[in-house]
Amino acid sequence: MKMEDRKKQAIELFDNGYNCAQSVIGAYQDKLGKKADVLMDMATGFGGGMGRLQRTCGAVTGAFMVMSSLSDQSLPGAKERLESDIQAFARRFREQFGELNCKALLGYDLNSEGELQKAHEQMAFDERCSRFIEFAIEVLDEFLNEKP
């Protein structure tokens, strides 16, 4: 599947109520096979920076789950390669957006009813989270296409 198709699929999932992590994972269902359903279920609690704790962005954690699931840990050096790839992914994301932290990325405290409402009114999720999801897929595609 082409990267643009993956991005479109991820945004459709996001628009239909899936969180950022699930949206990234869902865009790779073709590569994940049977693991996709399990990962989608596991990622349910990763929205809002992990259970709305507003820690690491769900688009980032979703990408890490895809990378981990597609990594063949039976190969020598696979763990080290995966860790290196995850660190490089995080570096790229941080360079692009300045942060990995959901609260800083969104600019709203999602645990404050007033700020949560304001985030919805300002369409912060549609505008910002969509960019995070699309960028995660762009970088993830690069890593997966480089994989031996």
pLDDT band at residue 146 using 50, 70 and 90 as cut-offs: confident
In sign, the C-alpha dihedral spanning 86, 30, 34, 130 is positive
Interval 60-112: pLDDT, tens = 999 999 999 999 989 999 999 999 999 999 999 999 999 999 999 999 999 99
pLDDT value at residue 70: 95
Give yes or no for a contact between 131 and 106, defined as CB atoms under 8 angstroms apart: no
Question: Distance between CA atoms of 145 and 148, rounded to whole angstroms?
Answer: 8
Helix (H, G, I), strand (E, B) or coil at 56: strand
pLDDT value at residue 148: 53
- pTM of the predicted model, to two decimals? 0.94
CA distances from 114 to 110, 111, 127 (A): 9, 9, 19
CA distances from 89 to 1, 62, 69, 83 (A): 21, 12, 15, 10
Provide the residue type at 111 as one letter.
Answer: N
Cβ-based neighbours of 99, under 8 Å, separated by 6 or more:
105
Examine the pLDDT at 147 and tell me if it is beyond 80: no
Examine the pLDDT at 17 and tell me if it is beyond 80: yes
Domains in the chain: boundaries:
3-146
Residue 138 phi/psi, 5-degree rounding, is: -60, -50
Interval 127-145: pLDDT, tens = 999 999 999 999 999 999 8
Examine the pLDDT at 55 and tell me if it is beyond 70: yes
